[in-house]
Amino acid sequence: MGVEHYLVLSAMLFVVGAYGVIVRKNLIIVLMCLELMLNSANLAFVAFARALGDMTGHVFMIMSITVAAAEVAVGLALLVSIYSHRESLDIDLLKLLKG
Amino acid sequence: METVVFYVFAALALAGALMVISFRNPVSSALSLVLTLVSTAVLFVLLLAHFIAVVQILVYAGAIMILFLFTVMFLNLKSDKLIFEAKNLGFKVSILLVILLFVGYFASLGFKDGVMKKTLGVSEMDGFGSIQGVGTSLLTEYLLPFELTSVLILVAIIGVVAIAKKRAN
């Protein structure tokens, strides 16, 4: 089977993640959908690495997972901070950066 | 055999992703995300990326998801300030299913006779995807980005400490 199966799956996972970011209102779930989108990009990286016989895609995936880990650490710290200020995680309430 | 494994775990990954965006409770969403990440790790094994699959399990499904679950539970889950919902989510998810159908159809049309259609050349014997191969390219060709990654993590650590400290004051 060819690599295009993996790329179609990656596109579908990305669409689900993007849809979740747009539709959901809970800030935690929005962050999870961001992770979903990064994960689908990782799948495409590894699929291309296999198709081209080049391991650069694996290195890219390591970089991407590092960025995801850093992003989630900062994002969750911000989330806890927002929750202690606002007592809510509804993103419709977050209209100002300065609380 | 490989095709069967691919379709089973692709379906599991997609089902997990759909469950992430359709549960009300953030803990259920986090556990569904673990399902997606583990299924993706199995797909990485199918793509001969063994080291990447282990990294995926350890870092993503282990560390990052623990961080998510810890934060959700830290914020006292019982309050309905955490479990609230957008209106008529079922309708929205069904719209998403139609979009997915179109995406899958047109994406598969686009890949139908592309250059990627050629048979996958590498085999397991070449050491493709092994720890040695990934580590060699990480520490020779991509040494500078690899070192800059540590700067990124340092910045993230300092940022988190700064945010947490401001909250304590």
Calpha distance B51→B165 (Å, rounded): 37
Using CB atoms, pick whichever of B3, B119, B137 lies closest to residue A56. B137
- Residues A11-27: tens digit of each pLDDT: 999 999 999 998 888 88
Lowest-confidence region among A47-61, B39-53, B75-89? B75-89
Rounded distance between C-alpha atoms, residue B3 and residue A2, angstroms: 10
Instruction: Give the mean pLDDT of A27-53.
Output: 92
Please report the sign of the dihedral spanned by the C-alpha atoms of residue A46, residue B97, residue A16, residue B60: negative
Which pLDDT score is estimated for B80?
A: 67
Please compute Rg for chain B using Cα positions: 20
At B131, list the tokens. 């720890």
* B39 inside 8 A of chain A by CB: no
- Indicate the DSSP class of residue B20: H
Q: Is A67 helix (H, G, I), strand (E, B) or coil?
A: helix
Quote the pLDDT of residue A69: 92
Would the CB atoms of B108 and A20 count as touching at under 8 Å? no
Interface of B with A in 78-117 (CB under 8 A): 81-82, 84-86, 89, 92, 96, 99-100, 103-104, 107-108, 111-112, 114, 116-117
CA distance B156 to B68: 16
B21 contacts chain A (CB < 8 A): yes
Residue A94: pLDDT band (50, 70, 90) is: confident
Alpha-carbon span B78 to A27, nearest angstrom: 16
| Mean per-residue pLDDT of chain B | 84
Interface residue B123 vs chain A (CB under 8 A): no
Share of chain B above pLDDT 70, in %: 82
Tell me the shortest Cα–Cα distance from B25 to chain A, in angstroms: 9
Give the residue-averaged pLDDT of A28-45. 94
**Interface mutation vs chain A, best among B40, B117, B119, B148, most A CBs within 10 Å:** B40
Q: Quick: pLDDT tens for A42-87.
A: 999 999 888 888 888 999 999 999 999 999 999 999 888 888 887 7
CA dist., res. B60 & res. B41, Å (int): 10
User: Which ipTM did the prediction report?
Assistant: 0.91
What's residue B131's pLDDT?
87
The partner residues of A90 in beta bridges, in order of sequence, read A26
Compute CA distances A32 → A18, A78, A84, whole Å.
11, 14, 20
Predicted pLDDT at B157:
93
Q: Which of A1, A38, A46 to mutate to test the interface with B (most CBs of B within 10 A)?
A: A46
Instruction: Give the pLDDT confidence of B112-140 residue by residue, as tens digits.
Output: 666 555 555 555 556 787 888 888 888 99
State the average pLDDT over residues B49-53: 91
**Mind telling me how many Å the CA of A24 is from chain B's nearest CA?**
6
Q: 């063994």: which residue's tokens?
A: B50
Task: Confirm or reject contact between A92 and chain B (CB < 8 A).
Answer: no
CB contact under 8 A, B21 and A16: yes
